[in-house]
Amino acid sequence: METISQPETIKLGSNGPAVPPLGIGTWAWGDKLFWNYGKDYDEAQLRDAFNAALAAGVNFFDTAEIYGFGESEKLLGQFIKEVNQPVQIATKYIPLPWRFSGDAVAEALSASLKRLQLPSVPLYQVHMPFDFFMGQETLMNALADEVQQGRIGAIGVSNYSAEQMRKAYDLLAKRGVPLAVNQMQYSLLGRSIEKNGVMDAARELGITILAYSPLSQGLLTGKYTPENYTAPTGARQIDPRFSRSGLEKIAPVVNLLTQIGQKHGRTPAQVALNWLVAQGNVIPIPGAKNASQAKQNAGAIGWRLDAEDVAQLDVATQTLNS
Ligand SMILES: NC(=O)c1ccc[n+]([C@@H]2O[C@H](COP(=O)([O-])OP(=O)(O)OC[C@H]3O[C@@H](n4cnc5c(N)ncnc54)[C@H](OP(=O)(O)O)[C@@H]3O)[C@@H](O)[C@H]2O)c1
């Protein structure tokens, strides 16, 4: 295992803001619909998670206006106010059918910044590739206006196919603004961006991939096993991947993560996240609901898996992703 002495940062896209090579996802912060916020964990645990991430050198957080219907941004805003440290926030605009003029983007961003209690954010992403009546050209122009006004440092998209990403890139290029990020589902158990052209096009165009659900919503942490079966909380209870047979299918991967982790003194989650970093041009944004998860996930960077570990994990997950 190679350790990295300097705390690295990575530029988002070709000339975007520099952030740590891993961020913390905050979908679960305030979200009752999918994640059971308020029942299984609360604000105090999330504050601890926030502070633990900062203490471990990770000050990059991903949120969205839709998470907890604004609650995730509000909690982050509160936590940021309580500390005296620079924090970098990526948030997201959600295209809704009734948002049909460019002004809707400015209004949504104003509301997000108000909840976050910030004058600007380093990254603003379009949550999904729908544009309804607005159209991508109006949308991208409205975002480019915000870069020029300094309320956002860089523009990202999310869940955009290779073709949609190229179109957004071209529209922004006309305004002299690079597309910095495409936030996509990417993990050892979800490798479709390697095959559908997104990964290649992102490399070609200098667009950074933010990998969401990088732990497969907990499956890659080693916490869920067929032997000591525990049902996950929230909406994951109806996800067949978390059933006993679903867990049996991925047990060889979890065992391999555990084995490689033992060699390096790391947890399965840390190995799974480090594998993503090893792909290059990828920043994982694992979710964390408490201090221990935030600390553990932050410990996924600052060291490198051996090339043979990376290759072994690659082979072990090929068939699960075909
Ligand atoms: N752009 C999009 O469309 C989109 C979609 C989804 C997610 N995202 C972003 O990506 C972030 C991460 O994705 P995600 O939350 O779906 O999935 P994830 O990061 O793969 O998994 C998060 C869950 O795994 C468990 N966990 C995390 N770290 C752990 C650890 N070290 N040990 C044991 N368990 C651990 C926690 O749940 P339990 O403790 O309950 O098991 C946690 O809520 C989100 O917060 C959000 O910011 C974006």
- Ligand 1 site-directed mutation target among 66, 293, 295, 297, most atoms within 8 Å of CB: 293
Cα–Cα distance measured from residue 253 to residue 306, given in angstroms and rounded to the nearest whole number: 17
pLDDT tens per residue across span 67-84? 999 999 999 999 999 998
User: Catalytic one among 67, 93, 169, 224?
Assistant: 67
What pLDDT was estimated at residue 3? 73
| Every domain of the chain and the residues it spans | 10-219+268-304
Cα–Cα distance measured from residue 204 to residue 37, given in angstroms and rounded to the nearest whole number: 40
Amino acid identity, position 107: E
| 67 catalytic per annotation | yes
Q: For residues 315-319, give the mean pLDDT.
A: 92
Q: For residues 39-54, give the mean pLDDT.
A: 97
pLDDT tens per residue across span 234-262? 999 999 999 999 999 999 999 999 999 99
Task: Give residues with Cβ within 8 angstroms of 162, minimum separation 6.
Answer: 196, 197, 198, 200, 201
Q: For residues 260-279, give the mean pLDDT.
A: 98
Cα–Cα distance measured from residue 83 to residue 166, given in angstroms and rounded to the nearest whole number: 39
What pLDDT was estimated at residue 228? 87
> Which residue CA neighbors atom 30 of ligand 1 most closely?
293
Cα–Cα distance measured from residue 144 to residue 153, given in angstroms and rounded to the nearest whole number: 10
Q: Give the pLDDT band of residue 29 (cuts 50, 70, 90).
A: very high
State the chain's mean pLDDT as an integer.
96
Cα–Cα distance measured from residue 123 to residue 147, given in angstroms and rounded to the nearest whole number: 10
Cα–Cα distance measured from residue 67 to residue 8, given in angstroms and rounded to the nearest whole number: 29
CATH class entry, domain 10-219+268-304 = alpha beta
Amino acid identity, position 177: V
Q: How many CB atoms lie within 10 A of CB 244?
A: 12
Which residues does a 6 A CB cutoff place in the pocket of ligand 1? Answer: 25-28, 62, 127, 158-159, 183, 212-218, 221, 223, 232-233, 269, 285-289, 293, 296-297
pTM for the structure as a whole? 0.97
Cα–Cα distance measured from residue 33 to residue 127, given in angstroms and rounded to the nearest whole number: 18
pLDDT tens per residue across span 107-131? 999 999 999 999 999 999 999 998 7
Cα–Cα distance measured from residue 23 to residue 288, given in angstroms and rounded to the nearest whole number: 10
